């Protein structure tokens, strides 16, 4: 826990002046609340016995002093509420930057096992709770300690016996709080998991809203949501039960202190050992040490929320990207594109079965290679190993003779362009989406890339042309239009190595022909891997690889493989014969 707290406190470092000024005004505000009852005691003990003129003058001076102290307290409270929250917001923003930056570094293997809703809740509600703890925590703690210790010392000076009576409850309160804290911590952790589940399910449902509506399954989604929502309420019930016991127990003890002090004080007064003015002082101070205890209640609740959020935050940050640059990774500018697989095997982390087995393959720079084979034999996986989306389990892949693990990741991926079947377009304009291929490209570069991808004409048919907003994930565009934008993106990137992952398989014949033409234009003089789906893609390939579960079963040109009358020939007649 010490190590975690050290990491938590490190977020204060950039804001030390703000933190210290916040603490200063918190201490000053707490001191003011301790001083005012002392002035009241002085008035009731001393000033009332002065000569009328002196008494009037003293009361005027003390009245002005008390008003000044109240104004000072208002300023202190405003300062810690306003500037303290700003500090909290800045620290929250720093954490959000850290976790979002870490999300960007994590690999496909991590995202294969994660729900977006869970990752989202760690960047929103968790971080809000942490920032509330970082802002309120220290000042609440300092104010509470000053008020409790300050009022205890003052009350000891007024009357030792009565002070001991009043403070006898504090250890009981502390033990009570400590016990229920532990209970609440577990309950709050459960709450976070449940709300992350709900966020994840909502995100899933809204992302697939078109599928939901097409199957008229709104009620099914409501049922799934209700189950998650009910689980959340059940988890909340447990945490609120402990919170209820906690708050009501401490509230009752605070009231009990007032009752006991009053009864003890009155009996001491009757015995002549306590003055009425001292009893009034005691009653004025009771708030000064019961309020801090209540503040500590909210602090412990805040601490549970914030700290369990911080643990989840660290959980993510502690996941080391399983694919990262070696310390001595080489910078590579432009590669020629000669690729070699040497005895490559691959299996997913959580599976014992190998997806790729002892693959040996050499592709010369500028070659156009098609991959065919039944579904599930690892065609996409083989292509995903080249940009290191996944790491080979054994063996090696080289580009221009250099092992891809010895290259800087950014340099490796900058040399590879990928056109996938499932095109992801970001919310924004057409211009923004094409420019994603090279963020520093000029408008002219973007338009040239769109023309190369046969996308310029359909873009200009929109009233706003390149500045047309395409909606979330490009919902306003057809499949062929989306695909051509993704090809324009790769044209703009201009990489020497290309991977087409069934890029035309989801398109109708007419769109497919236009997109195919764009792809062929893009593939000229580049090393190209095509996961083949249509006849045209295969016939144009200089080499065709036939993948099976055992590895590469056959390789050669279209004609060579047909003559072999092996797996390719039967696949070709089954899948492509009538394409």
Q: What is the mean pLDDT of residues 254-278?
A: 87
Is the per-residue pLDDT at 118 higher than 80?
Answer: no
For 514-568, what is each residue's pLDDT tens digit? 767 777 777 788 898 888 766 666 777 788 888 888 788 888 888 888 888 888 8
Q: Is 80 helix (H, G, I), strand (E, B) or coil?
A: helix
Query: Residue 461: which of 448, 478, 473 has the closest Cα?
Result: 478
2-317, CATH topology level: ABC transporter transmembrane region fold (1.20.1560)
Query: Can you give the pLDDT at residue 576?
Result: 61
Q: What is the mean pLDDT of residues 423-450?
A: 89
The structure tokens 């056959």 sit at: 554
**Position with higher pLDDT, 533 vs 443:** 443
Query: Residue 455: which of 425, 491, 484, 430 has the closest Cα?
Result: 484
For 80-91, what is each residue's pLDDT tens digit? 999 988 998 899
pLDDT band with cut points at 50, 70 and 90 for residue 508: low
Query: Can you give the pLDDT at residue 326?
Result: 85
Kindly give, in sequence order, each residue whose CB lies less than 8 Å from that of residue 348, ignoring residues fewer than 6 positions away.
109, 112, 355, 390
Q: How far apart are CA 108 and CA 445, in angstroms?
A: 31
Please indicate, yes or no, whether the overall pTM of this predicted structure exceeds 0.85: no
Distance (Å) of CA 480 to CA 209, 418, 446, 486, 509: 22, 16, 18, 10, 10
Query: Can you give the pLDDT at residue 506?
Result: 58
In this structure, what token pair is assigned to residue 328? 């001595």
CATH homologous superfamily, domain 424-494: P-loop containing nucleotide triphosphate hydrolases (3.40.50.300)
Is the per-residue pLDDT at 214 higher than 80?
Answer: yes
**Position with higher pLDDT, 2 vs 444:** 444
Is the per-residue pLDDT at 270 higher than 70?
Answer: yes
For 321-368, what is each residue's pLDDT tens digit? 778 888 888 888 888 889 999 999 988 876 777 888 888 888 888 888
Check if the beta carbon of residue 515 is closer than 8 Å to that of residue 503.
yes
Q: How far apart are CA 294 and CA 247, in angstroms?
A: 8
- Other beta carbons within 10 angstroms of residue 243's beta carbon come to 19
In this structure, what token pair is assigned to residue 166? 């009043």
Query: Can you give the pLDDT at residue 578?
Result: 45
Q: What do you get for the CA distance between the two ends of the chain, in Å?
A: 63
Q: What is the mean pLDDT of residues 249-276?
A: 86
Kindly give, in sequence order, each residue whose CB lies less than 8 Å from that of residue 149, ignoring residues fewer than 6 positions away.
none
Let me know if 570 is exposed, middle or buried by CB neighbors in 10 A (0-12, 13-18, 19+).
exposed
Domain-wise residue ranges, the chain: 2-317, 424-494
Mean pLDDT estimate for the chain:
84
pLDDT band with cut points at 50, 70 and 90 for residue 472: low
Is the per-residue pLDDT at 373 higher than 70?
Answer: yes
For 136-166, what is each residue's pLDDT tens digit? 888 888 988 898 889 889 888 888 988 888 8
């Amino acid at each position: 826990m010490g190590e975690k707290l050290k990491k938590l406190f490190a977020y204060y470092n950039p804001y030390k002046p703000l933190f210290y000024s916040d603490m200063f005004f918190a201490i000053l505000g707490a001191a003011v609340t301790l001083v005012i009852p002392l002035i009241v005691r002085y008035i009731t003990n001393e000033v009332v016995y002065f000569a009328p003129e002196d008494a009037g003058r003293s009361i005027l001076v003390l009245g002005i002093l008390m008003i000044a102290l109240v104004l000072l307290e208002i300023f202190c409270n405003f300062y810690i509420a306003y500037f303290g929250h700003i500090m909290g917001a800045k620290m929250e923003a720093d954490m959000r930057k850290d976790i979002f930056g870490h999300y960007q570094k994590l690999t496909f293997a991590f995202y294969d096992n994660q729900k977006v809703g869970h990752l989202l809740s760690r960047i929103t509600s968790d971080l809000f709770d942490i920032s509330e703890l970082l802002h309120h925590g220290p000042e609440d703690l300092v104010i509470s300690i000053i008020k409790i210790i300050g009022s205890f010392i003052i009350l000891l000076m007024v009357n030792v016996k009565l002070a001991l009576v009043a403070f006898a409850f504090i250890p009981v309160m502390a033990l009570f709080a400590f016990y229920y804290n532990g209970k609440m911590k577990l309950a709050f952790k459960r709450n976070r998991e449940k709300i992350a589940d709900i966020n994840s399910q909502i995100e899933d449902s809204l992302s697939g809203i078109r599928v939901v509506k097409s199957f008229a399954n709104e009620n099914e989604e409501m049922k799934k949501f209700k189950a998650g929502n009910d689980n959340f309420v059940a988890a909340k019930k447990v945490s609120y039960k402990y919170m209820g016991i906690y708050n009501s127990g401490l509230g009752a003890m605070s009231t009990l202190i007032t009752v006991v002090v009053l009864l003890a004080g009155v009996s001491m007064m009757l015995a002549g050992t306590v003055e009425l003015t001292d009893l009034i002082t005691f009653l004025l101070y009771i708030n000064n040490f019961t309020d801090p205890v209540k503040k500590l209640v909210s602090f412990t609740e805040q601490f549970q929320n914030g700290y369990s959020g911080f643990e989840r935050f660290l959980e993510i940050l502690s996941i080391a990207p399983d694919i990262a640059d070696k310390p001595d990774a080489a910078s590579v500018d432009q590669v020629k594109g000669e690729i070699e697989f040497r005895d490559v095997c691959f299996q997913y982390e959580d599976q014992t079965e190998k997806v790729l087995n002892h693959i040996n393959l050499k592709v010369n720079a500028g070659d156009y290679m098609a991959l065919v084979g039944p579904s599930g034999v690892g065609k996409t996986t083989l292509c995903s190993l080249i940009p290191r989306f996944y790491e080979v389990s054994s063996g090696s892949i080289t580009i221009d003779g250099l092992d891809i693990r010895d290259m800087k990741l950014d340099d490796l991926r900058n040399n590879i362009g990928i056109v996938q079947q499932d095109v992801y377009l970001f919310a924004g304009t057409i211009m923004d989406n094409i420019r994603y291929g090279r963020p520093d490209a000029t408008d002219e570069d973007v338009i040239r890339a769109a023309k190369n991808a046969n996308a310029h004409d359909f873009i200009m048919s929109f009233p706003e042309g390149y500045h047309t907003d395409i909606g979330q994930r490009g919902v306003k565009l057809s499949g062929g239009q989306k695909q051509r934008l993704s090809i324009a993106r790769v044209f703009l990137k201009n990489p020497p190595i290309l991977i087409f992952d069934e890029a035309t398989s989801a398109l109708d014949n007419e769109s497919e022909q236009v997109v195919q033409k764009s792809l062929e234009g893009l593939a000229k003089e580049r090393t190209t891997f095509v996961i083949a789906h249509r006849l045209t893609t295969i016939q144009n390939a200089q080499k065709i690889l036939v993948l099976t579960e055992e590895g590469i079963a056959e390789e050669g040109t279209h004609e060579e493989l047909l003559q072999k009358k092996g797996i390719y020939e039967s696949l070709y007649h089954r899948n492509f014969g009538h394409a």
